[in-house]
């Protein structure tokens, strides 16, 4: 059924970089046998999943939507994906993304743009745009994405699906091709909160192969799927509803807050300071880490290598000049600059201090509130092409999502309305570290 739907819509939407139909059908047959024998009984057994193309899959091309990895076939599988395979998932393909997860529209891919299934003239968001479009277009039952500064939550919002970024350290990053290692988390993109909680339960594991992995005891996320928000304290950050927020988005998000209140939650406005510093701090830290992480793509060990060169240095230079796209190059230059001697203290260290202050502001808020509620993005999905001319404008669109990564918190977006153009509006719920269950409980009241 998934492949029949793909046949029907993929020509328009282009969610995938690679489809693995033959292997998927083979795997499905094997899994069916195990289900029949009673060896596989979980909720994900036999269910088709799509994976963002920055998750390593043994024997299957993994490109990060970059030309520099146009021939990279990993020899191992990401831990989160392995966990899904153990649960009986059928992998149907690898989804399109912004190159190395840098972007907010899925337009920086070297393999063409993905379009928003709700309206093909609009972007699906990014960087996990392929994963979110695939779920919205019903090409798969669910997908995995990665979120460094909103890349699961923002495209979920633009595509009218539900996406969850777990607390940093919850899902192993082993086999996730790194963008900003201190910010990256893998998470589910699905049709609803129930599916998200179920998938999160399956991919969560302590993994000693990831030095930042955390051993958690409270991972029965589906136990929070209860329709009861009575007495829950919900904070609305005033700073998230000021200038720049589209009026229709604002109205839909505030209406959702009202619904929670009517169901017995205590909803209150508060000041979450430092919001304006989140974007500069994030782009300094993420670019710094990216410039270091991308140093490994040099044409020697794996990936693309330039055809003609004179000597080693010329080979590096030509390979990287030809292999990386404009956005990746911009981040490498910005990151190298803020890490360079003389500027390190002024930019990188200052950004780290800002990150610590943002975490403190959230800590203070969570002394009072169980969940913070706000928009996922300032607007609904923009038109294709409209974000490319002005990268700064694109960066500003990340205002509501990136501080969650800087503070390591869990966050979820779910649909809360449709604007006058017929595009979905997303609502974001943010929880304290390790409190995914609060988010799931609040979100479930909309299901
Ligand atoms: N849009 C942000 C960026 O370009 C976030 C991307 C992400 O979360 N991977 O960095």
Please report the pLDDT score of residue 396 as a whole number.
87
Ligand 1 pocket residue status of 104, Cβ below 6 Å: yes
What is the residue extent of each domain of the chain?
2-214
* CA dist list (Å): 122 to 14, 191, 262, 275, 385: 13, 20, 34, 28, 9
Residue 395 CA to residue 388 CA, distance in Å, equals 11
Collapsing DSSP to helix, strand or coil, 329 comes out as helix
Rounded to the nearest whole angstrom, what is the distance from the C-alpha of residue 30 to the centroid of ligand 1? 37
Please report the pLDDT score of residue 276 as a whole number.
87
Point out the ligand 1 atom lying closest to the alpha carbon of residue 179: 9
Report which of residues 48 and 394 the model is more confident about: 48
CB 130, CB 37: distance < 8 Å: no
CATH fold of 2-214: Amidase signature (AS) enzymes (3.90.1300)
CB 118, CB 136: distance < 8 Å: yes
In whole numbers, what is the pLDDT of the chain averaged over residues?
Answer: 97
Q: What is the tens place of the pLDDT at every residue in 220-253?
A: 999 999 999 999 999 999 999 988 899 999 999 9
Q: What is the tens place of the pLDDT at every residue in 408-445?
A: 999 999 999 999 999 999 999 999 999 999 999 999 99
Ligand 1 pocket residue status of 102, Cβ below 6 Å: yes
Note the residue count of the chain.
447
Residue 33 CA to residue 45 CA, distance in Å, equals 11
Q: What is the tens place of the pLDDT at every residue in 301-347?
A: 889 999 999 999 999 999 999 999 999 999 999 999 999 999 999 99
Rounded to the nearest whole angstrom, what is the distance from the C-alpha of residue 56 to the centroid of ligand 1? 19
Average pLDDT value for residue range 37-58: 97
Ligand 1 pocket residue status of 398, Cβ below 6 Å: yes
Please report the pLDDT score of residue 266 as a whole number.
98
Please report the pLDDT score of residue 243 as a whole number.
87
Residue 339 CA to residue 301 CA, distance in Å, equals 25
Ligand 1 pocket residue status of 82, Cβ below 6 Å: no
Which residues are designated catalytic? 52, 127, 151
Ligand 1 pocket residue status of 151, Cβ below 6 Å: yes
Please report the pLDDT score of residue 387 as a whole number.
86
Band of pLDDT at residue 46, cut at 50, 70 and 90: very high
Question: Reduced to 3 DSSP states, what percent helix, strand and coil does the chain have, rounded to the nearest 5?
Answer: 40, 15, 45
Point out the ligand 1 atom lying closest to the alpha carbon of residue 395: 1
Rounded to the nearest whole angstrom, what is the distance from the C-alpha of residue 398 to the centroid of ligand 1? 8
Per-residue b or e along 278-316, where b marks 16 or more CB atoms closer than 10 Å to that residue's CB: bbebbbbbbbbbbbbbbeebbbeebbbbbeeeeeeeebb
Q: What is the tens place of the pLDDT at every residue in 371-392?
A: 999 999 999 999 999 988 788 8
What token pair was written down for 225? 């799927």
Q: What is the tens place of the pLDDT at every residue in 387-407?
A: 887 888 888 899 999 999 999
Please report the pLDDT score of residue 274 as a whole number.
85
Please report the pLDDT score of residue 275 as a whole number.
87
Helices (H), 369-434: 391-396, 402-406
Residue 368 CA to residue 377 CA, distance in Å, equals 24
């Amino acid at each position: 059924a998934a492949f029949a739907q793909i046949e029907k819509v993929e020509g328009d939407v282009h969610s995938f970089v690679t489809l693995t139909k033959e292997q998927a059908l083979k795997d499905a047959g094997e899994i069916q046998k195990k289900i029949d024998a009673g060896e596989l009984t979980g909720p994900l057994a036999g269910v088709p999943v799509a994976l963002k193309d920055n998750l390593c899959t043994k024997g299957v091309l993994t490109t990060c939507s970059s030309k520099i990895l146009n021939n990279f076939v990993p020899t191992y599988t990401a831990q989160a994906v392995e966990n899904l395979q153990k649960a009986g998932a059928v992998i149907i393909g690898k989804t399109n993304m912004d190159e190395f997860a840098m972007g907010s529209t899925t337009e920086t891919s070297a393999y063409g743009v993905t379009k928003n299934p709700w309206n093909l003239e609009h972007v699906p968001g990014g960087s996990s745009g392929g994963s979110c479009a695939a779920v919205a277009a019903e090409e798969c039952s669910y997908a995995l994405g990665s979120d460094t500064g909103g890349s699961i939550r923002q495209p979920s919002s633009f595509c009218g699906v539900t996406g969850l970024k777990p607390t940093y350290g919850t899902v192993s990053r082993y086999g996730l091709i790194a963008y900003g290692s201190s910010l990256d988390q893998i998470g589910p993109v699905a049709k609803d909160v129930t599916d998200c909680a179920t998938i999160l339960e399956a991919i969560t594991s302590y993994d000693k192969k990831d030095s930042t992995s955390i051993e958690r005891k409270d991972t029965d996320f589906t136990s929070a799927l209860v329709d009861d928000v009575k007495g829950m304290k919900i904070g609305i950050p005033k700073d998230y509803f000021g200038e720049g927020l589209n009026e229709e988005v604002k109205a839909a998000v505030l209406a959702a807050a009202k619904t929670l209140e009517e169901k017995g939650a205590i909803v209150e406005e508060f000041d979450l300071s430092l919001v304006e510093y989140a974007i500069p701090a994030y782009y300094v830290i993420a670019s710094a880490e990216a410039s270091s992480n991308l140093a490994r793509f040099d044409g020697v060990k794996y990936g693309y290598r330039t055809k003609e060169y004179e000597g080693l240095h010329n080979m590096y230079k030509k390979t990287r000049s030809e292999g990386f796209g404009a956005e990746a190059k911009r981040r490498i230059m910005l990151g190298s600059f803020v890490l360079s001697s003389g500027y390190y203290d002024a930019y990188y260290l200052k950004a780290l201090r800002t990150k610590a202050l943002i975490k403190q502001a959230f800590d203070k808020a969570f002394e009072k509130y169980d969940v913070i509620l706000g928009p996922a993005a300032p607007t609904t999905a923009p038109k294709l092409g409209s974000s490319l001319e002005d990268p700064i404008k694109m960066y500003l669109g990340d205002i509501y999502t990136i501080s969650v990564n800087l503070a390591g918190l869990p966050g979820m977006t779910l649909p809360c309305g449709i604007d006058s153009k017929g595009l979905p509006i997303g609502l974001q719920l943010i929880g304290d570290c390790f409190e995914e269950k609060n988010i799931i409980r609040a979100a479930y009241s909309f299901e």
